[in-house]
Amino acid sequence: MSLVYIDYRGPIVSTNAAYRGGRGRFWMTEAGKNFKEFVAFEAKKAMRGKDRLNAPIAVSVLIDFWFARTNSDIDGPVKLVLDSLNGIVWEDDKQVVELSVGKHRALRPKDVGVALTVSPVLVEARERRAL
């Protein structure tokens, strides 16, 4: 399998905003559920006609925040995005062995979203980098 490109345009939800808890219980908020469903929907479109990856995976994530939110934590939405792809792009996000994350400022509200590039990691390339 080669490169998979996923582009989700819409509101971004961080892990902190996706979960609520109290009295020893935690649950996912509606905003968190919606975010994961929308990302999964885009992943299903990108994977149409392709098999799930079952090897070590490299993921590159680019988060486009609205200009007022560029001080947001870069890692906030990443966990939710990776979890959204379980069972669609890969079996489990434990397969991700390389992760690159960047954030940019969206120029327009409609440009807010997350873009991902997913590719299998070649074992030979990993071994060369270890030298």
Please write the tens of the pLDDT for every residue from 66-111: 765 556 778 889 999 999 999 999 999 999 999 999 998 888 888 9
Local structure of residue 21 (DSSP, 8 states): E
With CA atoms as reference, report the closest residue to 57 among 122, 130, 102.
122
Per the prediction, the chain carries an average pLDDT of: 87
Q: Are 127 and 12 in contact (CB under 8 A)?
A: no
Other CB atoms within 10 Å distance of the CB of residue 4: 21
Give the number of other Cβ atoms within 10 Å of residue 121's Cβ.
Answer: 18
Q: What is the pTM of this model?
A: 0.82
Report residue 18's pLDDT band, with 50, 70 and 90 as the boundaries. Answer: confident
| Domain boundaries 4-130, corresponding CATH code | 3.30.1330.70
Give 40-78 pLDDT, tens digit per residue: 999 999 999 999 999 999 999 999 987 655 567 788 899
**What is the rounded distance in angstroms from the CA atom of residue 116 to the CA atom of residue 88?**
14
Give the distance, in angstroms, between the CA of residue 106 and the centroid of all CA atoms in the same chain: 17
pLDDT at position 44: 96
Cα(17)–Cα(21) distance, rounded to whole angstroms?
11
